[in-house]
Homo-oligomer: A and B are copies of this chain.
Amino acid sequence: MQLGIIGLGRMGGNIARRLMLNGHQTVVFDRNTEFVSTLAAEGAKGVADLPALVAGLEKPRAVWVMLPAGAPTEDTIDTLSQLLEPGDVIIDGGNTYYKDDIRRARDLAQKGLKYIDVGTSGGVWGLERGYCMMIGGDADEVLRLDPLFAALAPGLGSIPRTKDRVADDDRAERGYIHAGPAGAGHFVKMIHNGIEYGMMQAFAEGFDILKTKSSEILPEDQRFDLNVADIAEVWRRGSVVSSWLLDLTADALAGDPKLEGFSGSVADSGEGRWTIEAAMEQAVPVPVLSNSLFSRYRSRGQGTYGDKLLSAMRFGFGGHVESGKK
């Protein structure tokens, strides 16, 4: 099949490559012309702007937008909606808020355009491992584009089959699902990222205890001199916490056991926050997912106003002249 791709960064560029490796054609655009040239040299048809991209595709056209969520994606889809024709489809493969998908699908349908949201997991490893995709939109349209999704997905691979699994739809086993109508793909991806935050924080807290166990915060006779790189490595084999995140942890600790290459300031993207909002809309208690997000906030600031107020109260009731009182 043929696919237009807008946005050739870490994700979009490799999506084009994986499709071409599987015999599909791509028409690619990025504001950065170097990215376009590079992919053109690898077999893609590079274009200089959106009209050229639309002109370069056969009807019904399919255009995959792989840009940062928010204004970049929104503006691009807005422009595309004026260039495309009824029957064409826009695919948003980024990390869009699912309520934006629902709105867009409704608005685009009024112009006869189709809209598909694809929550795409795989990061920098997707080219090699394939992309795990959670897809929302019209079922027929998702089926029509199946050759593209099948090519991008990891496939059955060497992962053991789930025992007892009986399903009419074998796409899940090949690494992609049609989750439901527009928005459902990004909703499932959002929850995936929420869980990811929680798992990461669980490892972070555990390794923090392991590391601190050898520090001067404890009297010397209570310390253990633990090898965190070996611990991550051994847990990869036969333990309950074995996981891809643990593999990455073992990688990182093998090269830099003190993690001196990192400052400890951790970013967060929208999905963590949206997951908490979704939970609150549904009255689902999410202490772990929320605290994972808050720990990231906390990692980025110090001497917060709230902390200062705690010290002020302590000073008020107990005259505690603590380190916190200047």
Contact = CB atoms under 8 A, between A and B. Distances in A.
A224 B180 CA distance: 7
A10 B250 contact: no
Given A130-B238, A261-B325, A295-B285, A266 B204 contact: no
A192 B235 contact: yes
Nearest to A206: B195
A323 B259 contact: no
Interface in A18-73: none
A173 B233 contact: yes
A266 B287 CA distance: 16
Nearest to A195: B206
B313 A304 contact: no
* Copies of this chain: 4
A195 B238 contact: no
Contacts of A197: 202
Interface in A158-205: 158-160, 162-167, 169, 171-177, 179-181, 183-184, 187-188, 191-205
A52 to B, nearest CB: 29
Given A10-B319, A302-B302, A309-B203, A250 B288 contact: no
Contacts of A262: 307-309, 311-312, 315, 324-326
Identify the interface centre among A193, A205, A282, A290: most chain B CB within 10 Å of its CB: A205
Interface stretch (A74-82, A84-92, A118-126, A140-148): A118-126
A209 B289 CA distance: 11
Contacts of A239: 121-122, 132, 192, 244
A27 B47 CA distance: 70
Interface residues of A, number: 160
Interface in A223-253: 224-227, 229-231, 233-253
A234 B162 contact: no
Given A188-B210, A209-B191, A240-B244, A280 B273 contact: yes
A207 B326 contact: no
Nearest to A215: B282
B278 A209 contact: yes
Contact of A317 (B123, B275, B324): B123
Given A238-B130, A244-B242, A204 B284 contact: no
Contact of A266 (B154, B250, B281, B307): B307
A8 interface: no
B212 A313 contact: no
20 contacts: A10-B318, A126-B238, A155-B237, A165-B250, A180-B224, A180-B225, A187-B224, A192-B241, A203-B309, A205-B306, A208-B306, A209-B275, A209-B286, A212-B282, A242-B244, A249-B313, A264-B308, A266-B307, A267-B322, A285-B295
Given A172-B234, A209-B284, 16 more contacts: A132-B238, A159-B236, A163-B254, A167-B230, A171-B234, A172-B233, A181-B224, A199-B241, A200-B314, A209-B278, A212-B282, A249-B316, A263-B311, A264-B308, A285-B294, A302-B302
Nearest first, the 5 A-B pairs at minimum CB distance are A198-B202, A243-B243, A264-B303, A248-B316, A208-B306
